[in-house]
Chain A
């Protein structure tokens, strides 16, 4: 994707000064994909819930745009709001549905004519999704921010609202759990 002609900072300024809703719409269009994808990961593949939380995220971003100090990237700030929205919902719901139902659909959608390695990768992907669902919310969030959103440990700490050391601990524990759950995919010992 080519770099946009108008920067996020310019769009934010338009929203703040003129309450320009077209500018805010452009911000939503630019970032909706990553925010929704992140929330899909955090919710264990619950797309409907993820989209509801993503909408809530952008509404909160609109209401609190004046508090965005540009210390972090706008996308990182959105990740932080998305994570807090997810946590608030988790507290409210107490438990989240695991993506068991969608796994079957995902498996069924694999093209049987594809090469063995691609099919193998798809199965690993499904197993990885199942294994991710067994992680704690904080561990899963740390993996999603550092691996999927490609944030540094410092940025992930900002998003998750915890010290950098805690992020590293979450990632270490998460990887240990993933290795244990996916031991069949690892090298023979």
Chain B
């Protein structure tokens, strides 16, 4: 590189540029520069803290509303689902198991929805 750049009689100029480069290489103190850059970064789109529980509550209300408004449909869907899963007629014990699983799933969903980031 040096031989590529240097021509005969240019040594003094090369030396001057090298000395200037050494000055250039001196570390510049940060003096708040980094803090200024970080302060100018675009803001993170933070979700409000109440958003998740409210969304979970709204879904719960919507689910209940559908179940109340359309009890026949809810029963048919639930019955078909259980019949498909178990391949047998409904019994009290199986309904209990299904409700327990459904409750656990709902609880897990709510816990996930309102968890801390």
Q: List residues of chain A with CB under 8 Å of any chain B CB.
A: 1, 19, 21, 24-25, 28-29, 32-33, 36-38, 41, 51, 54-55, 58-59, 62-63, 121, 124-125, 128-129, 143, 146-148, 150, 152-153, 171, 175, 178-179, 182, 185-187
Bound-state Cα–Cα, A32 to B36, Å: 12
B85 within 8 A of A: no
Contact residues, B11-31 vs A (CB, 8 A) = 12-13, 16-21, 23-28, 30
Query: Is the contact region of chain A dominated by helix, strand, or loop, or is it mixed?
Result: helix
Q: Please judge, given known A-B contacts A59-B40, A187-B9, whether A51 and B33 are in contact too, CB under 8 Å.
A: yes
B34 within 8 A of A: yes
Q: Is the CB of A125 within 8 A of B33?
A: no
Bound-state Cα–Cα, A75 to B107, Å: 50
- 15 new A-B contacts, CB < 8 A, other than A25-B38, A186-B9, A187-B12, are A25-B34, A33-B27, A37-B25, A37-B28, A54-B33, A62-B41, A125-B20, A128-B20, A146-B5, A147-B18, A147-B21, A148-B20, A182-B16, A186-B12, A186-B13
Bound-state Cα–Cα, A11 to B40, Å: 19
Q: Is the CB of A128 within 8 A of B33?
A: no
Among A19, A21, A28, A129, find the residue whose CB has the most chain B CB atoms closer than 10 A: A28
Q: Is the CB of A147 within 8 A of B28?
A: no
B44 within 8 A of A: yes
Shortest CB-to-CB span from A94 to chain B, Å, is 26
Q: Is the CB of A124 within 8 A of B16?
A: yes
Q: Is the CB of B38 within 8 A of A28?
A: yes
Q: Which residue of B1, B12, B19, B36 is within 8 Å of A125 (Cβ)?
A: B19
B116 within 8 A of A: no
Shortest CB-to-CB span from B41 to chain A, Å, is 6
Bound-state Cα–Cα, A153 to B2, Å: 11
Q: Is the CB of A121 within 8 A of B40?
A: no
Bound-state Cα–Cα, A156 to B12, Å: 23
